[in-house]
Amino acid sequence: MRPNLLILGGTTEASALARVVAGRDIPAVLSYAGRVDRPKPQPIPTRSGGFGGVAGLRAWLRDNAVTHVVDATHPFAAQMSRNAADACAAEGVPLIALTRPAWDEQPGDRWQRVADIPAAVDALAGPARRVMLAVGRMHLDAFAAQPQHFYLLRLVDAPDTPPPLSDHVAVISRGPFTQAGDRALMQEHAIDLVVSKNAGGTGARAKIDAARALNLPVLMIDRPALPVRPECATPDQVLDWLAHSGVNLGV
Ligand SMILES: NC(=O)c1ccc[n+]([C@@H]2O[C@H](COP(=O)([O-])OP(=O)(O)OC[C@H]3O[C@@H](n4cnc5c(N)ncnc54)[C@H](OP(=O)(O)O)[C@@H]3O)[C@@H](O)[C@H]2O)c1
């Protein structure tokens, strides 16, 4: 049997897997949530937008004769990961997650760990600070509850409506970011606190390394609970998993 993959993407890791499966001529579609204006071009077909919950994803798997699903979404995309686990279980489609380990505190780090976004908002109570808020566009509204701070935002696209943060600067960039670049950005805006999700991986790590280099505290938001599913860490391990599931990967 030839495989026909659905890759749930929106991450550096999903793009790396897309390159590997394209290089091997393995049929696959990469799915985006459709949250950014110009998603990164890919060497395999893409689709964009929600499936319509578990029922919608089940129908999509059937209609497109998907043989395997790779959940390569961001570790904070918990809803999509839950839907994928439920839909694959219901349709009998094998699922693997391509994941990255969470970041751990290194010598020199000054982290305060919090459980989730509401806890991060609560932890910001107190005198005005200059905060680099690197949590993505979706959660900015929650921080309006702490309006006393200056917020430095970094966003992939310019927002359609200004975030409800009275004192902020938005830098529009999709990276890649470097430690030196992030250090310079933090110094330019006199940042004294960084708020970050514990994304793990390399794509978003520059700001954490920059905060350590500048001896800045980091409010680190822990990952949400994710469904239990088989996991692997590299695109090659995804290919191994496919090969062991008995499909024909060609030469
Ligand atoms: N959360 C982050 O911090 C973060 C950071 C970087 C990149 N991303 C990427 O951005 C996307 C959205 O993340 P999120 O945290 O908003 O997700 P989420 O809260 O887990 O998902 C909300 C809904 O968005 C749709 N969706 C999410 N990912 C999708 C995908 N890859 N393809 C098709 N539909 C998708 C699904 O809609 P339906 O129920 O209608 O199917 C899902 O129920 C994901 O692809 C993720 O990998 C997220």
pLDDT band with cut points at 50, 70 and 90 for residue 97: very high
Q: What is the pLDDT of residue 248?
A: 82
Average pLDDT, the chain: 95
Q: Does 83 have pLDDT greater than 80?
A: yes
User: How far apart are the CA of 250 and the centre of ligand 1, in A?
Assistant: 31
Rg (CA), the chain: 20
pLDDT band with cut points at 50, 70 and 90 for residue 190: very high
Report the nearest-CA residue for atom 39 of ligand 1.
53
Alpha-carbon gap, residue 27 to 149, rounded angstroms: 49
| Cβ atoms of 8 and 73 closer than 8 Å | yes
Least confident range from 26-30, 71-75, 125-129, 160-164: namely: 160-164
Ligand 1 mutation pick, 79, 80, 116, 226, max ligand atoms within 8 A of CB: 80
User: How far apart are the CA of 77 and the centre of ligand 1, in A?
Assistant: 5
Q: What is the pLDDT of residue 65?
A: 97
Alpha-carbon gap, residue 148 to 38, rounded angstroms: 33
Q: Does 117 have pLDDT greater than 90?
A: yes
Q: Tell which wins on pLDDT, 157 or 219.
A: 219
Burial of 172 (0-12, 13-18, 19+ CB in 10 A): exposed
Q: What is the pLDDT of residue 113?
A: 98
pLDDT band with cut points at 50, 70 and 90 for residue 231: very high
Q: Does 183 have pLDDT greater than 90?
A: yes
User: How far apart are the CA of 118 and the centre of ligand 1, in A?
Assistant: 19
Report the nearest-CA residue for atom 28 of ligand 1.
33
pLDDT average, residue stretch 169-191: 95
pLDDT band with cut points at 50, 70 and 90 for residue 251: low
Give the bridge partners for 133, in sequence order.
153, 195
| Cβ atoms of 69 and 90 closer than 8 Å | no
Angle formed at CA 153 by CA 166 and CA 39, multiple of 5 degrees:
130
User: How far apart are the CA of 224 and the centre of ligand 1, in A?
Assistant: 13
Taking CB atoms and a 6 Å cutoff, what residues make up the pocket around ligand 1? 8-11, 31-33, 35, 50-53, 56-57, 73-74, 76-80, 83, 136, 138, 197
Report the nearest-CA residue for atom 16 of ligand 1.
77
Q: What is the pLDDT of residue 39?
A: 85
User: SS3 helix, strand, coil % of the chain, rounded to 5?
Assistant: 30, 20, 45
Q: Does 40 have pLDDT greater than 90?
A: no
Q: What is the pLDDT of residue 36?
A: 84
pTM, two decimal places: 0.93
Q: Does 133 have pLDDT greater than 90?
A: yes
Q: What is the pLDDT of residue 68?
A: 98
Q: What is the pLDDT of residue 1?
A: 82
User: How far apart are the CA of 60 and the centre of ligand 1, in A?
Assistant: 16
- The percent of residues in the chain predicted with pLDDT above 70, rounded, is 100
